[in-house]
Structure 1
């Protein structure tokens, strides 16, 4: 068999990479005393080579390995700096000198990489803050939920909605590789672990809208995670009553091969046992992740990201008593359960990423990934209930007991849901930087194949006062128990479907970015376009191909004012081609004709940086508007989304997000967030009503502090207030007739940590703490005020008045946790 051109090309690259001379690389950014990059700094080496910094202050120079080389940094307006280095073969050394000024100079204001993210509307979060902030589900998602416009009224879930979008509208990348969630998750307590391993995180970037064409085809947000590339041996261990994690970092002697791997285990029993349902609950959430990097040469790097997640959820409810109503008219619901639920989630993910640096201006990337998940959701649970009046006579021996039953009945839920999904991606990305004109061109093309095999069997039977309740359809006239119904028995809800579906996708983008001047003002522009074509096939499905084009643009201006201000305007056409869950309708049947949802999105933003108490602060404000068409309406129950799969709706969303962040306490970063949102939809031209994610008001505080007399004792506060969501109505109800709202969500989590070891507190060799770079012990209180937050309602009929009572399903109560963190 003759080798293909592609094979010969790959072999040539590999062969050429091994012929590269034994060298090391020194790179970095040169700053002045005001932390501004310096252009045109001359760098000379003792071996006769040299280079110069660009307008962003960046430089890179290759030197011989295994010998001492002196580098000299000179500039006409700054003092000379000299440094001697000796690098190993393949070592990449970063050196960031700060040059002092010998003569007054007014230079041009340039945009470095951090400022570039700011003009793009991207929020950058500290990886260390991610690891420290308390929460029932600690990690990256816990932190971004404190940002304006990001909401989640379920502390057991890592899923979130952004500016009126649902959980399926958010992109998540790890080292530019798109990652996925399991399909069948119904409640937060089933989720277990987020894909992102906090111990491995280096950078966290988040965009809540108006993002560039280089990011994928979703409507709401982008979470872009970067994992660390270690340069030495190290590790981290975290232990708490909720589980534990351990990670290890390695780097070869020649710095060519580096690894970072982590294993995590989580047990939600502590949280679930704080709820009002008594259960036998045995969760086992475990995952292993690794990120490997091998530098064949300075030009060719190969990376591997792997993940194995094994989540077992065994749930056996026993009893529940929920008290509600008023002090004058207290009511209680008592439930006795039989049966159990057994869920299994097995996910495997692997990705290869190759970086080829053609020259200083062109970078080529090749990514291939595979995601495989097998999911089982099996349950048979019988709930027998009593609804009645509660004895409220103080001093009575039966205080709190149900004395008069107003309703009695039972409910049987059955499910046998199994899913097997395989997703394969092959992608190429490229970047071309034109330094002299401050231009950059990005492009990419991606092929995706999705193969989903799904069996959905669910039914529910409700018995009230001895009468089987019929489905709530208009063709049934049901006046039980006052009039006998003589028709055949039928389950209250029943879904049965088997689907074997394949989706092939081709998508791509190209965008152009430019940094320039508008008079004395700094101007940044970005223009790009995405295209996406997909074909749906499967058993019993007539093949359907569709395509969309999404133009997008950004413009930012930094005025030459005394105040440090930045203005942004971004937007465009954003499309979300349907994923498998969006193709599957209420009855479980796949509709291949579902169109891509479209959002015309406009974001106007302003950043104002200033000094307060002689410390840095920044106020970020964004106003946004979305006009949505071809909307795929859905119902939301806990975290499970079920779509209508008919595109028979239109919607809008608008709001205002504000965040003030800075050093409220010297040396720490804290922030206050405020968000206002209004989002409504019009289904089948029946008029606009609130969408399930219509979170009108959001207020959050993330605060870090320490005791001045005991600086090693630190405080972390995470406070959230969200107004109530729609969703208090039964899942089968007509949303136009039943617009019930859940109560406001209020929660405060606080953590205390005592630092035993850090960079400022080290111990001499021989001390038991001398082996650690960082070590701390902590104590956390989740839901400090023991607030009874509601996620959904259980609906029960009163046998006497035929009223339906919405009994709140409460989330977790107050929980205490202890933890220990060490890094070596």
Structure 2
């Protein structure tokens, strides 16, 4: 029986049948004058195709084996690409230039979706993204399996990388920076990621040490490339969580193409498995389009448009959470009145012009406009009690709370409104010279944000209102009366009008040389960022930072295919709007840019095992952070101190192995260790909110050998608990307890009725389908109780505060139907 065949072991099948799986090579063929060449023959053994009128081609290859591709035309010399190994469903872009007088011989080895480059970039196959199960399936589901990525909430698409937080990650779609809503505080308020997986052609991710051409954030880069359609295609998918559809079109002459997607999602199935019972009525909808018009082989114009309408209505009813120890089990019982109504409406429009000045020089002009209007309105009264849990196995009330005590109530009222407009205009260019490339860019950004915060929290316990724990409210309640006016225990009331102008730019130079017999690659670059912040009082503050960066790679002339990388650089994160707001909601224009020095040392070993492609990657990293803007994290809401009084560090190591553990599939296992601490105002080091320590992630794909159309997809995550936070007004140095370890498994099983390797004749009713699949998913397969944060409840009798975990979703079954025409 073949190794790693989990599903096959379950069914107890004895014979192994290896079915050929496909990968794709695509691109545009040009001549020496950068003109597109039509009718170029592309062959790989018995496989072949030709370029269309604009020089475009797409050829399916056999995956997990060496391929030699020949580009030939009667008027030009051949181009030969040798030793190309692609994994299943991989898409490799190669744009050859055919010349009149020489023959190009290209030797390249691409194993397990990895590109040879100086960047510490991970490539992820779009087909893998679409298949892997997850409560919020998509690109982020795959990222959450990586060792340095922290994401312990399946309802959220946000993630933290190597000790950072959710605001420290760059996201690009076709070189256009995209943004998230500002006010979302709870993961169940999130609906859809910006990235539509059905539209994706290529995904690159860097967890640190990235090049100067990427922007000014401290942690990571997610670089998405959407498709350029070549034929008509329609893809649809429906499940208990929603539905989505995408369509690809191309004009007859191949100059115009369109890529559009429509998605609808409803999280009620997931939210209704949580311990808080509620009437939940969300509606998350978005539509995206990516249009391309190729005026001629030298110039093309792209448009990216997105409109997202997210309505969130929640009427909480009741909740019981059991916690404590086996010797002293406790229960929190809560009854709710009131309603939450939130609305987030975001729109993005972007134009990108690309001009091929000559064979070596490419010029680009990108402009985008992002607009969001967000409302958070809620009035919720929670009446709670604490009690012992009946742990008698013979009792009819086992698991119920007995003799509730510490009865109290909490009233939360929110009226938050935000309107943000962000304009970007950017120029980028590149010039190649033999084995070197020079890249540059400059960008102007204008941010206009209008925000009104009105939040209040009143706590009532046994008939008296608890005042904030500040010196002016010191009292001896309930023993002595206190006649001061009623004051909210926690409140925010701020009105902010903030405008920011930013000028940034970069220049970088990369080259490849020989050192003895080894290949040496390096990329040296520098960024600058100047910004000016003004508020409604007329105060204006300007600052400028510079960020030099270096990436170095060495490929020795060894029999083993090894590559070693080192990256370092200075990374700044000039404050965005949320980082300018302190804990009271007031904007502080003088907040400095957070600064980090990255050191990343990595290795990459590509090899064949069982005649299949594998890759072993390892990285060790260290980050020293200064001018840190400390924050608290509650669910997915980040609240900054806006004082830059903290220093911090992050270090860790990661190991990941991926490849065809099962023939014709791609799987991986990753292990990582991370530690991050901060020192606030020289008080000593404590754990940061994203100090996750140990992380193990497994992505596994399988099929039954005798029924290869029955597929299994499994992703497993284990990570040690992060700090659980602290109650309002509390000193974080006192509250350093941790949440329980996060453990989750999501399983997907589907049957492929029609696929690439299973087509039907024209007389069959299934002939119209390119793909047709039906399956089911089980989220949280082992029904683990995971928590993301704590609810802090005061016990009047003991005057203690209990950290009551807020548990996430339990086991959920989802059915899914996929159609591709």
TM-score normalised to the size of structure 2?
0.88
2:521 counterpart of 1:521: no
Pairing partner for 2:447 from 441, 445, 450: 450
Q: Is the 8 A contact 1:350 1:369 kept in 2?
A: yes
Residues 441 and 327 of structure 1, relative CA distance in 2, 3 Å threshold: same
CA displacement at 1:390 relative to structure 2: 2.6
Residues 590 and 75 of structure 1, relative CA distance in 2, 3 Å threshold: closer
CA displacement at 1:481 relative to structure 2: 3.2
CA displacement at 1:804 relative to structure 2: 1.5
**Deviations along 1:658-702, whole A, 9 cap, x unmatched?**
111011101111000111111111111111111111111110100
Match of 1:128, SS state, is helix
Which residue is 1:323 aligned to? 322
Q: How does 1:177-576 map to 2 (within 5 A)?
A: 177-435=176-434, 438-576=435-573
Q: Is the 8 A contact 1:624 1:654 kept in 2?
A: yes
CA displacement at 1:73 relative to structure 2: 4.4
Residues 814 and 71 of structure 1, relative CA distance in 2, 3 Å threshold: farther
1: CA distance between counterparts of 2:81 and 2:704?
44
1: CA distance between counterparts of 2:615 and 2:41?
24
Residues 478 and 808 of structure 1, relative CA distance in 2, 3 Å threshold: farther
2:626 counterpart of 1:629: yes
Which residue is 1:16 aligned to? none
**Deviations along 1:241-296, whole A, 9 cap, x unmatched?**
00010011100000000001000000000000000111000000000000000011
Q: Is the 8 A contact 1:256 1:296 kept in 2?
A: yes
Residues 415 and 732 of structure 1, relative CA distance in 2, 3 Å threshold: same
CA displacement at 1:705 relative to structure 2: 0.4
Residues 28 and 130 of structure 1, relative CA distance in 2, 3 Å threshold: farther
Which residue is 1:48 aligned to? none
Residues 557 and 760 of structure 1, relative CA distance in 2, 3 Å threshold: same
2:616 counterpart of 1:619: yes
Residues 109 and 115 of structure 1, relative CA distance in 2, 3 Å threshold: farther
Which residue is 2:764 aligned to? 767
Q: Is the 8 A contact 2:79 2:96 kept in 1?
A: no
Decide which moves more: 69-78 or 320-329.
Answer: 69-78
**Deviations along 1:474-496, whole A, 9 cap, x unmatched?**
55434433444443321110110
CA displacement at 1:29 relative to structure 2: 11
CA displacement at 1:397 relative to structure 2: 3.8
Q: How does 1:27-176 map to 2 (within 5 A)?
A: 70=74, 73-74=77-78, 118-176=117-175
1: CA distance between counterparts of 2:119 and 2:279?
49
Match of 2:155, SS state, is coil
Q: Is the 8 A contact 2:118 2:523 kept in 1?
A: no
**Deviations along 1:320-367, whole A, 9 cap, x unmatched?**
111222344322111111000100000010000000000110000000
Which residue is 2:805 aligned to? 808
**Deviations along 1:748-772, whole A, 9 cap, x unmatched?**
0000010010111111123221111
1: CA distance between counterparts of 2:800 and 2:78?
84
Aligned residues: 754
2: CA distance between counterparts of 1:712 and 1:398?
48
1: CA distance between counterparts of 2:97 and 2:436?
26
RMSD of the TM alignment (CA)?
2.7
Relative contact order: is structure 1 or structure 2 higher (C-alpha 8 Å, sep ≥ 6)? 2
Q: Is the 8 A contact 1:439 1:514 kept in 2?
A: yes
**Deviations along 1:595-632, whole A, 9 cap, x unmatched?**
11000111000001122222221110010000100100
Pairing partner for 1:682 from 675, 679, 683: 679
CA displacement at 1:403 relative to structure 2: 2.6
Match of 2:296, SS state, is coil
Match of 1:296, SS state, is strand
1: CA distance between counterparts of 2:240 and 2:683?
50
1: CA distance between counterparts of 2:770 and 2:42?
28
2: CA distance between counterparts of 1:731 and 1:605?
41
TM-score normalised to the size of structure 1?
0.88
Q: Is the 8 A contact 1:729 1:741 kept in 2?
A: no
Unaligned runs of 5+ in 1: 1-20, 36-42, 44-56, 62-68, 79-92, 99-104
Q: Is the 8 A contact 2:509 2:523 kept in 1?
A: yes
Unaligned runs of 5+ in 2: 1-32, 51-67, 83-92
1: CA distance between counterparts of 2:465 and 2:41?
74
2: CA distance between counterparts of 1:107 and 1:195?
40
Residues 439 and 415 of structure 1, relative CA distance in 2, 3 Å threshold: same
2: CA distance between counterparts of 1:667 and 1:380?
54
Which residue is 2:578 aligned to? 581
2: CA distance between counterparts of 1:29 and 1:787?
55
CA displacement at 1:448 relative to structure 2: 0.3
1: CA distance between counterparts of 2:97 and 2:506?
37
2: CA distance between counterparts of 1:108 and 1:817?
47
Q: Is the 8 A contact 1:28 1:58 kept in 2?
A: no
Match of 2:705, SS state, is coil
**Deviations along 1:725-770, whole A, 9 cap, x unmatched?**
1124224321111112111111000000100101111111232211
2: CA distance between counterparts of 1:452 and 1:97?
48
1: CA distance between counterparts of 2:464 and 2:601?
57
Which residue is 1:66 aligned to? none
1: CA distance between counterparts of 2:196 and 2:469?
44
2: CA distance between counterparts of 1:464 and 1:627?
45
1: CA distance between counterparts of 2:615 and 2:465?
61
CA displacement at 1:75 relative to structure 2: 8.1
